[in-house]
Structure 1
Amino acid sequence: MATQAVLSERVGVAEDLLRRAERLSGAEGGAKLCGKLRSELKFLRRIQSAHVRGAHVHSSNLTHLSAVVQSAESLQNVVALLRVYNYTKEEKKRSLTVDVVADGGLLWVKAVGRKAEALHAVWQGRGQFGDRSVIGQAGEFLLAAEEHPLHYARPRVLFAFYNGVSVPMATELERMGVEVSGELIPTATMQGEEPEEEEEEESEAGGREQGIVGNGVHPPHSEQEQAAAAPSQRPPEELLQFYRDSDQDSDQDSHDSALDSDSDSDSAPRPLTLLDRSLSCPRPLPAPAPPPSCALVNLDVSTLLSLVSSLTHGGCGLAFREAVLTEQAADERRAPVLPQMERFMAGKELMACAAAVTDFQEILRTLGGAKEKERAQALLRRVAVVTDQPSPRSLALTPSAAVSPRSIAIFGTGDAHHAVTMTANRKFVRAAANQGVHYSVFLHEPRALTEGKEWRATPIATPPEPTATPT
């Protein structure tokens, strides 16, 4: 019955986490997080229905996913969950999963659900084979962040600990350049031999995670955990598997983790220390940092067209024969794009690469009206035209229907000049991100050249002013 009580509790936790994760579906990776929680819930319900008795079921994935959900709920401007980044380590291609990408992409968060006592034991070199020190993982996060700048600045790295972290580990992380949040727990060196309780705890690959505190062993936190910790006979393997008590980032990271597990800790264990939670102090999540400023703006073809289009200069009150133009006109009436673009460009230098200007002028000659051409001449006088010189990471992109050579030249040249590229080409931005290249961009809605087609368009009737209702 004790095991069933533990399972029922974990099922309830998983259901609550899934409901909360579904509210985060607006962020990239929200569906992936919900899928992982559904898998956990399915597993727990399966073994619950099998009437497992007397087994200690510990779902470390649930612990980690709970920390991810809490981080996503607590941080601002979350843009992605469980995003995978590629990077190079020792001339080998690796990947890691960032649990939460917040602050518009400027903050990478590793959510850690393991208890501080277990994390500290691994750092001391007293963990199980394959256990990875948080310090080693932090080094990989910093390395990957260097290879994926946003707005030409390295994203900040935050390790958020939801079951505490020892002060020495937090100090080491901060020395490396990693921000830390959570309960900071001081330590004291233990004299003499290690207690039998700790040896028993560290020998369990997937069992209870009892932390050493004060002068003894921290007991389980609930009656269900105490009952579940009792020795018992293991049920059939196909009905119940024991999760290891670890917080691996994701399935994508497991191979690299196994390869690197021995390199994360010293060859000899550090002196045994105890954690005293009675003296702990909280470290809150950091406040959002202001985004780095960029004084140079790269204009792509879609932006050049939008800046001179008749739609953005009062010609949006028409219904065109072309459905796409009618839709853009309606969008412009609802949300004009020119004021947004002008606010962003204010006080900045403007540039465009030769490929963008050439294509823009060709479209202008074919479709542009007289006023649109006048505005184009005035605009180009404000723009510095540079030769096409894509950045190395842009040249490494694999061409596809969405990743054209022209787009590589335009976005890549802006990238090489450390400029923010203004664009309505979301398709390319997404496709490049899927290949691991995240550009610094300002996105806006597209506006086509329409002056040459206004003669056959139908004016939109202006709705009458509402009349006051007599009282």
Structure 2
Amino acid sequence: MATQAVLSERVGVAEDLLRRAERLSGAEGGAKLCGKLRSELKFLRRIQSAHVRGAHVHSSNLTHLSAVVQSAESLQNVVALLRVYNYTKEEKKRSLTVDVVADGGLLWVKAVGRKAEALHAVWQGRGQFGDRSVIGQAGEFLLAAEEHPLHYARPRVLFAFYNGVSVPMATELERMGVEVSGELIPTATMQGEEPEEEEEEESEAGGREQGIVGNGVHPPHSEQEQAAAAPSQRPPEELLQFYRDSDSDRDSDRDSDQDSDQDSHDSALDSDSDSDSAPRPLTLLDRSLSCPRPLPAPAPPPSCALVNLDVSTLLSLVSSLTHGGCGLAFREAVLTEQAADERRAPVLPQMERFMAGKELMACAAAVTDFQEILRTLGGAKEKERAQALLRRVAVVTDQPSPRSLALTPSAAVSPRSIAIFGTGDAHHAVTMTANRKFVRAAANQGVHYSVFLHEPRALTEGKEWRATPIATPPEPTATPT
């Protein structure tokens, strides 16, 4: 009965987490998080209906996924969940999964669900083979963040501990430059013999014990699991606590489908050789003296005084649509749609506010293409506005940044876009653009540009002569009484 009670409890937890995660679906990766929770729920229901014995009850990702959901709900301006970043460590390409990307991309969060006692034991070198210390993982987060600046600043790294962290570990993380939140638990030097370690039987390097193999479930691997296979030898309450404790937090980096088995193996070997895994003086945690550390407040985004204008922005800044010519229905459906959008939400005020007080630049490729489009489609007033605009803009030679030149060309990643965005990147400028397709495609290749996105506006003055004015609704008249 105890086993079924634990399973029922876990199914309820997984169902609640899934409902909460579905409300986060607006962020990138929300569907991925929901998919992992559905997989976890399916696994739990399958073993629930199979009447398996206690040793088979393992849901190794549930604690970690719960921590991810809690972080996403608690932080501000969450833009991505379970986002994968590539980075280089010891001249090898690696990938790392950031549980929550918040503050508009300026805060990377690793959500940790394992108990503080288990984390501290691993840090002291008393973990099982393959267990990874969070100190080693923090170093990887810092390396990856250094390679993925946003607005030309390294994202802050936060480790959020939902079952506590020892004060010495928190101190070491903060010394490295990692922010810490959660319950901080002081330690005391052990007297006499070393106590038994907390029953954290699952190794972080072991994959998931991912649930199902063929038509069954994984057999027990460790001595603790084998002991649990005979529930009659354990008191029911002890067995219940055993399964509560067994829900250990996996290294979320290996949750990514993009990580190869070899990369995971290399990472595990690297972590075994980290200096933080060396044996340390044994200490005990004293939760009676713990104190909470809240989540940090959002930091103001770094300012950027230089703005790079791409072709779509140059066109929008001089278009007749943004200068009073939006009250028309054009023969071209796309122009009619842009005119309607402009009536609802004018883009020029937004763009002017962003550019105010900043230096403007554009690369030669953008200016050449802009002038060619202007000669072909521009009207007299649009050309006049273009001349005035270009007098405010510093034109620089095309000089894409190295990471831009490393992009693989595709339908969305054209050489022109690489030149334009890459030159802005090389000058540490924010690129103003309506080219969302390129921004997404570059991000999918691991290059996240500093951009200000706006809606596109085409040149329309030359087509106004055959457009139809939009009838202005009459003013409501008072009804005589």
Normalised by the length of structure 1, the TM-score is 0.90
Change (3 A) 1:117 1:251: farther
Q: In the alignment, does 2:401 pair up with 1:417? A: no
Distance 1:405 1:289 in 2: 35
State the 1:466 CA deviation.
2.4
State the 1:236 CA deviation.
21
Distance 1:331 1:204 in 2: 51
What is the DSSP-based 3-state SS (H/G/I as helix, E as strand, rest coil) of the residue aligned with 1:278? helix
1:175-205: CA deviation from partner (whole Å, max 9, x where unpaired):
0000000000000010222134659979999
Change (3 A) 1:210 1:468: same
Q: Is the 8 A contact 1:115 1:211 kept in 2?
A: no
Quote the residue 2:320 is aligned against: 310
Q: Is the 8 A contact 2:201 2:225 kept in 1?
A: no
State the 1:77 CA deviation.
0.3
Q: Is the 8 A contact 1:206 1:245 kept in 2?
A: no
Change (3 A) 1:215 1:7: closer
Give the number of equivalent residue pairs.
471
Quote the residue 2:47 is aligned against: 47
State the 1:272 CA deviation.
1.3
State the 1:260 CA deviation.
2.0
1:197-234: CA deviation from partner (whole Å, max 9, x where unpaired):
65997999999999999999999999999998974699
Q: Is the 8 A contact 1:4 1:53 kept in 2?
A: no
Distance 2:444 2:207 in 1: 38
State the 1:455 CA deviation.
0.3
Q: Is the 8 A contact 1:185 1:277 kept in 2?
A: yes
State the 1:104 CA deviation.
0.2
Quote the residue 2:309 is aligned against: 299
What is the DSSP-based 3-state SS (H/G/I as helix, E as strand, rest coil) of the residue aligned with 2:54? coil
Quote the residue 2:12 is aligned against: 12
State the 1:259 CA deviation.
3.0
**What's the C-alpha RMSD, in Å, of the aligned pairs?**
6.6
Q: Is the 8 A contact 2:58 2:209 kept in 1?
A: no
Q: Out of 259-268 and 194-203, give the one that drifted further.
A: 194-203
What is the DSSP-based 3-state SS (H/G/I as helix, E as strand, rest coil) of the residue aligned with 1:352? strand
Gaps of 5+ in 1: none
Normalised by the length of structure 2, the TM-score is 0.88
State the 1:3 CA deviation.
0.4
Change (3 A) 1:266 1:134: closer
Q: Is the 8 A contact 1:52 1:235 kept in 2?
A: no
Change (3 A) 1:217 1:461: closer
Distance 1:279 1:134 in 2: 22
Q: Is the 8 A contact 2:56 2:217 kept in 1?
A: no
Change (3 A) 1:264 1:57: farther
Q: Is the 8 A contact 2:29 2:81 kept in 1?
A: yes
Quote the residue 1:389 is aligned against: 399
Q: Is the 8 A contact 1:389 1:409 kept in 2?
A: yes
State the 1:261 CA deviation.
2.8
Change (3 A) 1:247 1:397: closer
1:409-436: CA deviation from partner (whole Å, max 9, x where unpaired):
0000000000000000000000000000
State the 1:263 CA deviation.
2.1
Distance 2:72 2:301 in 1: 19
Distance 2:256 2:371 in 1: 58
State the 1:249 CA deviation.
11
Change (3 A) 1:235 1:197: closer
Change (3 A) 1:430 1:207: closer
What is the DSSP-based 3-state SS (H/G/I as helix, E as strand, rest coil) of the residue aligned with 1:344? helix
Change (3 A) 1:109 1:411: same
Distance 2:147 2:468 in 1: 52
Distance 2:66 2:159 in 1: 15
What is the DSSP-based 3-state SS (H/G/I as helix, E as strand, rest coil) of the residue aligned with 2:398? coil
Distance 2:146 2:275 in 1: 23
State the 1:349 CA deviation.
0.2
Q: Is the 8 A contact 2:148 2:154 kept in 1?
A: yes
Q: Is the 8 A contact 1:110 1:159 kept in 2?
A: yes
Distance 1:239 1:183 in 2: 26
Change (3 A) 1:181 1:222: farther
Q: Is the 8 A contact 2:2 2:240 kept in 1?
A: no
Distance 1:238 1:197 in 2: 15
Q: Is the 8 A contact 1:148 1:154 kept in 2?
A: yes
State the 1:269 CA deviation.
1.6
State the 1:355 CA deviation.
0.3
**Residues 247-266 of structure 1 mapped to structure 2, 5 A cutoff:** 254-266=264-276
Q: Is the 8 A contact 2:130 2:204 kept in 1?
A: no
Quote the residue 2:472 is aligned against: 462
1:387-426: CA deviation from partner (whole Å, max 9, x where unpaired):
0000000000000000000000000000000000000000
Change (3 A) 1:236 1:84: farther
Q: Is the 8 A contact 1:124 1:265 kept in 2?
A: no
1:2-59: CA deviation from partner (whole Å, max 9, x where unpaired):
1000000000000000000000000000000000000000000000001123336242
Distance 2:238 2:267 in 1: 26
Gaps of 5+ in 2: 244-253
Change (3 A) 1:416 1:433: same
Change (3 A) 1:392 1:51: same
1:90-121: CA deviation from partner (whole Å, max 9, x where unpaired):
00000000000000000000000000000000
